[in-house]
Amino acid sequence: MLATTATAVPTGPEWVHEVKWDGMRVLADVSDGVTTLASRNGNDVTASFPELAGLGSGYDDLLVDGEIVALADGRPSFGALAERMHVKDRRRAERLMAARPVTLMVFDLLRLFGQDLTGMPWSDRRALLERLELSGPHWQVPPTHDDGPGLFEATRDQGLEGIVSKRRTAAYAAGRRSEDWRKSAHRVTHSAVIGGWRPEKDSPGRLGAVLLGVPDGEGGWRYAGRMGSGIAGRAATSLADLLAPLTRASPPFSDEVPRLDAAGATWVEPRIVIDTLSLGHTDGGRLRQPTYVGVRHDLDPEDLTDA
């Protein structure tokens, strides 16, 4: 179940509010005590997060929805999480776990002891979730709040991403975006595909900026601007490695890329999804001053039509 963007924080007794975590959405499925983690696009990411293996140690069967977060300077950071998301080798994941541990913030209960709970109201699912007492070294059930505007201001003061407001009577609409869940963010995060890259000015062989695309509403990609901020060092090297096998002869965008941005560009198939922070959009629909956050290994380009 996905949240829509709120125009204002909902108020009233029918709403409850939670912190919006800057992380990776997963479903954690426990069967016979074995935990399997699936990303939003259905990929098995269990090997990437070995510290979550013990989540279901006290239960034979349950399915929970939550967000995996990694902390940087005491706050959740998607950038800090990015280096863990694509790791498939368990030994490497265990080494990274020691340096950059994660926590699963569990916020919904979808199945328990073989019973599908998705048709129940949120309030009933939440009551059952709290009774499970899922508290461990790398997982927790964060609290909910009745005062949405107050939580929104508190998360702003603490440098958090924002809040999610949920209707207490809402069933869980699996795989769908619903008005019963509404997100209010302090900063604008955009997911986009990379459709090309440009080299550094003084280093022709090194990636210095990427050219971004967003869905054009007709099955293609509209050019969304050039981004170089935040791309340097390991980030630039990692992106270059991902893009190298995707080279193509022409731009993948349905509209024309400005000559200034296209100069010297290497075009690539739009298969790599990244997150950016920006100041919104220009009048021409470009991202305003976008900054690189990280690669979304949990998203496919097709997911952006529902982002």
The CATH number of residue 142's host domain is 3.30.470.30
Tell me how far apart the alpha carbons of residues 111 and 174 are, in angstroms, rounded to a whole number: 12
Both tokens assigned to 229 = 């901020």
Residues 238-244: what's their mean pLDDT? 95
**Half-sphere exposure (CA, 13 Å, Cβ side) for 59?**
23
Residues 294-301: what's their mean pLDDT? 91
Both tokens assigned to 223 = 């050019």
Q: Has residue 79 got a pLDDT over 80? A: no
What is the reported pLDDT for 279?
66
Residue keyed to tokens 């975006």: 177
**Half-sphere exposure (CA, 13 Å, Cβ side) for 83?**
18
Residues 6+ apart with CB under 8 A from 146: 13, 16, 17
Greater confidence (123 vs 58) lies with: 123
Domain boundary among 143, 165, 185: 185
Instruction: Provide the annotated active-site residues.
Output: 20
Domain boundary among 155, 185, 215: 185
- Band the pLDDT of 224: cuts 50, 70, 90: very high
Chain centroid offset of residue 201 CA:
31
Tell me how far apart the alpha carbons of residues 173 and 151 are, in angstroms, rounded to a whole number: 25
Terminal CA-CA length for the chain: 12
Closest by CA to 38, choosing from 58, 52, 21, 57, is: 52
Q: Has residue 307 got a pLDDT over 60? A: no
Residues 270-293: what's their mean pLDDT? 86
**CATH at 194:** 2.40.50.140
For the CA atoms of 151, 156, 161, 162, what is the dihedral angle to 10 degrees? 30
Structural domain span for residue 210? 188-306
| pLDDT tens-place string over residues 123-168 | 999 999 999 989 889 999 999 999 999 999 999 898 888 999 999 9
Domain boundary among 128, 154, 185: 185
Tell me how far apart the alpha carbons of residues 151 and 146 are, in angstroms, rounded to a whole number: 9
Percentage of residues in the chain having pLDDT higher than 90: 66
Residues 231-246: what's their mean pLDDT? 92
Whether residues 35 and 145 share a domain: the answer is yes
Out of 143-147, 148-152, 216-220, 279-283, pick the least confident: 279-283
Mean pLDDT of the residues in the chain: 91
- Band the pLDDT of 281: cuts 50, 70, 90: confident
Whether residues 64 and 130 share a domain: the answer is yes
Q: Has residue 183 got a pLDDT over 70? A: yes
Q: Has residue 306 got a pLDDT over 60? A: no
